[in-house]
Amino acid sequence: MNTEARDPLHGLAGTFAVCLSVLAVGLTAIFQATAGGTAFTTETLRRTAVEQAPVAVPDYPVVDAQGQTHSLRSLLGKGARVVIVDFVYTRCTTLCLAMGTVFQQLQAQIVEQGLQERVGLLSISFDPLQDQPPALAAYAERMRMQPALWQLVSLRSDADRRRLLDSFGIMVVPAPLGEFEHNAALHIVSPQGQLVRILGPGDGDVSLELARSLAAVPQPSGAQ
């Protein structure tokens, strides 16, 4: 017999060294991919990233319920308003309906607190094929949107839709019964057109508070 058989620990040092190296590399990789072990889903990563470094919202032509074309930037940087943005499709019967309710509550609160000049709401449809102006108008009616406060727009082209969703980090996936599923959230866009925070659909109150404090900061001679 050899020495290995007599001493079970013989030659284990090399194995331990390899194990520790593997573990170190593995943990480093996981640490790096999860923002230091704090974010294990794409959604949390997206929120963390935006919180650390705001993203400029790109500009695309959008159509409103009246069929008029605007530039997205003009809707976002209007006055010194902070805009809370969400993504919807008007046929939705599940999550966006809940988002719609959140936005309805926000609309009521904004009116109640007299914040119309400082906080606005914008719903962007990610379904440009279905959501033509008549569908938008019907949805606006159903949601009792106040046009000065809460706007609903659709994109002109599928390519624009893709790029805008990418810039916000929204993924839309087909779901049963012709529905879509997507990461629903409240996106806070500063008067300068920067996406500064992303909050969960249930954080309506927090988002309004945040939007109000952002809007309260005096802007150097105002945006446009």
Partner 1 sequence: MSATAGSVRPVAVATSVAAVLTTLAGMGLSLPPLRVLIEQSMVWHMLVQMPLLVLAGWCAAAAWAPARGLRWNRYGLSGFMLAQCIAAYWMIPALVDRAVVLPSADAAKLATLWLAGLALRLGYVQAPPLVQLFFIGYGLPMMAWLGLYLASTDLRLCNAYSLESQTRAGWGLVGLAAALGMAWLLGHVGKGATRLTGQVIAVDDDFTAARPLVK
Residues that bind partner 1 (CB under 8 A): 1-2, 4-5, 8, 11-12, 14-19, 22-23, 25-27, 29-30, 33-34, 39-45, 171, 173-176, 181-183
Name residues whose C-beta falls within 8 Å of residue 77's C-beta, 6 or more positions apart in sequence.
191, 192, 193, 223, 224
Q: How far is the CB of 135 from partner 1 (least distance, A)?
A: 23
Q: How far is the CB of 112 from partner 1 (least distance, A)?
A: 31
> Which residue(s) pair with 85 in the sheet?
122, 187
Q: How far is the CB of 60 from partner 1 (least distance, A)?
A: 21
Nearest CB to partner 1, comparing residues 14 and 114: 14
Nearest CB to partner 1, comparing residues 11 and 147: 11
| Angle CA 7–23–39, to nearest 5 | 155
Nearest CB to partner 1, comparing residues 174 and 220: 174
Q: How far is the CB of 12 from partner 1 (least distance, A)?
A: 6
Nearest CB to partner 1, comparing residues 15 and 221: 15
In degrees rounded to 5, what are phi and psi of residue 62? -130, 155
SS3 of 129-167: the string is CCCCHHHHHHHHHHCCCCCCCEEEEEECCHHHHHHHHHH
